[in-house]
């Protein structure tokens, strides 16, 4: 039988042989599979110590992966903003980012417990609590949202910085407008009689200059980094709270990696965690912050144990509310009490 072209059809054997030859040639010509790329988005730049630590983690993972994986860093909010990092990593639209607990209590309400004022005595107490089970609790909550926490470290002790005098008691705080980032910072100041004001970081200096706000509550890095000291030159070093941060990666992405790459990531993340704890310890309890305040000729008052105890007692309603409303609050508060130094 003839085909439409008038020639005899090729035998099935010839067709198969021809196809195999073509496939073989194509396979020889096909380039090797591209290495996997992990995008790490952070709010930091390389002038900040914490930003440098994210870059070191990325370089260490990339170098040790030896061509199997590259971590590409997007610094200074160039890919996403910090308030978007939770949703972006959860969905996988970005593979990894910095997870700031204070920004994500709306997504994971239990994170608000960490913002309770005077929950931890100092960094050493905070870390003991994490190692005694707090990290596993937090990691579990993130895992429920498709995010794996690779580490956890503090963002720095929070103090009250002000204009014209120390805001070191409920009497001094009464009626004062204080800039906050929200959450339990707002509740704390309201309970002590102040008026919390939420403003973006870039607007705070102008608000201080115009007297729209009388002070700010923030950590040392934020205070120095945004030059708030130029207007708010009174420091009440009360160590009111300890926010936390972690390096988070999309859980499905992490689980899809071979065990060797997972170990490279987690080992490098542990080194990063240790580095950041050491750095924040030096700032808040090793004299770095105090020396900088002295260099800037600021007015500094360090809270006494009696002042801290009095403020914590006045803020007991916040603990009662957390215990009633937040699932992990009883366990976290109990763990903090159990790991407190004698």
Which long-range CB contacts under 8 A does 201-207 form with residues at least 24 apart? 201/226, 204/179, 204/228, 205/230, 205/231, 207/179
Contact 127, 277 (CB under 8 A): yes
Locate the DSSP E strands across the chain: 36-41, 69-74, 96-100, 147-149, 153-162, 177-180, 195-198, 215-219, 234-237, 242-250, 299-302
pLDDT tens, residue by residue, 150-172: 999 998 999 999 999 999 999 99
Which residues, in sequence order, are bridge partners of residue 74? 41
Contact 186, 180 (CB under 8 A): yes
Q: What is the per-residue pLDDT for 260?
A: 97
Q: What is the per-residue pLDDT for 32?
A: 42
pLDDT tens, residue by residue, 298-312: 999 999 999 999 999
Inside any domain, residue 177: yes
Q: Exposed (0-12), middle (13-18) or buried (19+): which is 199, by Cβ within 10 Å?
A: middle
pLDDT tens, residue by residue, 25-39: 333 333 344 579 999
Q: What is the per-residue pLDDT for 342?
A: 67
What is the distance between the alpha carbons of residues 213 and 222, in angstroms, rounded to a whole number? 16
Q: What is the per-residue pLDDT for 5?
A: 38
Inside any domain, residue 299: yes
- Count of the separate structural domains present in the chain: 1
- Residues 155, 160, 163, CA angle at the centre, nearest 5°? 135
Inside any domain, residue 186: yes
Model confidence at 24: pLDDT above 90:
no
Inside any domain, residue 249: yes
Q: What is the DSSP string of 41-108?
A: E-S--TTSHHHHHHHHHHHHHHHHHTTSEEEEEE-TTSS--GGGHHHHHHHTSSSEEEEEGGGSTTTS
Inside any domain, residue 27: no
Task: Name the residue with tokens 């040639």.
Answer: 25
Q: What is the per-residue pLDDT for 34?
A: 55
Q: How many C-beta atoms lie closer than 10 Å to residue 174's C-beta?
A: 12
DSSP 6: S
Q: What is the per-residue pLDDT for 27?
A: 35
* Nearest in space to 60 (alpha carbons), one of 266, 259, 255, 250: 266
Inside any domain, residue 84: yes
- Read off the CATH number of the domain in which 101 is found: 3.40.190.170
Which residues, in sequence order, are bridge partners of residue 99? 246
Model confidence at 252: pLDDT above 90:
yes
Inside any domain, residue 221: yes
Inside any domain, residue 15: no
Domain range for 96 is 36-338
- The reply to whether the predicted model has a pTM over 0.95 is no
pLDDT tens, residue by residue, 37-80: 999 999 888 888 889 999 999 999 999 999 999 999 999 889 99
């Amino acid at each position: 039988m003839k085909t439409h072209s008038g020639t005899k059809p090729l035998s099935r054997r010839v067709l198969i042989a021809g196809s195999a030859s073509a496939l073989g040639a194509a396979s020889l010509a096909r380039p090797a599979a591209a290495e996997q790329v992990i995008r790490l988005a952070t709010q930091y730049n390389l002038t900040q110590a914490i930003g440098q630590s994210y870059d070191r983690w990325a370089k260490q993972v990339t170098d040790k992966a030896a061509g199997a994986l590259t971590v590409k860093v997007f610094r200074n909010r160039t890919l996403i903003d910090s308030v978007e990092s939770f949703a972006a990593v959860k969905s996988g639209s970005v593979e990894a980012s910095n997870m700031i607990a204070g920004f994500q209590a709306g997504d994971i309400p239990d994170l608000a417990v960490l913002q309770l004022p005077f929950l931890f005595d100092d960094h050493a107490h905070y870390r003991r609590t994490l190692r005694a089970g707090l990290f596993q609790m937090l990691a579990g909550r993130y895992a429920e949202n498709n995010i794996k926490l690779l580490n956890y470290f503090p963002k720095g002790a929070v103090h009250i910085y002000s204009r014209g005098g120390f805001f070191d008691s409920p009497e001094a705080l009464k009626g004062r407008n204080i800039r906050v980032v929200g959450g339990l910072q707002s509740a704390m100041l309201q309970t002590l009689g102040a008026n919390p004001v939420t403003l973006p970081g870039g607007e705070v200096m102008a608000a201080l200059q115009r007297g729209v706000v009388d002070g700010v509550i923030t950590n040392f890095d934020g205070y120095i980094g945004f030059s708030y000291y130029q207007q708010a030159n009174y420091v009440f070093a009360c160590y009111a709270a300890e926010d936390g941060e972690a390096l988070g990666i999309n859980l499905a992405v992490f689980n899809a990696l071979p065990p060797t790459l997972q170990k490279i990531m987690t080992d490098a993340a542990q080194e990063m965690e240790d580095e950041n704890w050491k750095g924040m310890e030096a700032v808040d309890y090793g004299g770095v912050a105090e020396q900088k305040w002295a260099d800037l000729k600021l007015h500094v008052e360090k809270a006494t144990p009696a002042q801290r105890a009095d403020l914590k007692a006045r803020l007991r309603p916040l603990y009662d509310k957390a215990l009633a409303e937040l699932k992990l609050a009883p366990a976290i508060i109990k763990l903090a009490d159990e790991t407190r130094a004698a």
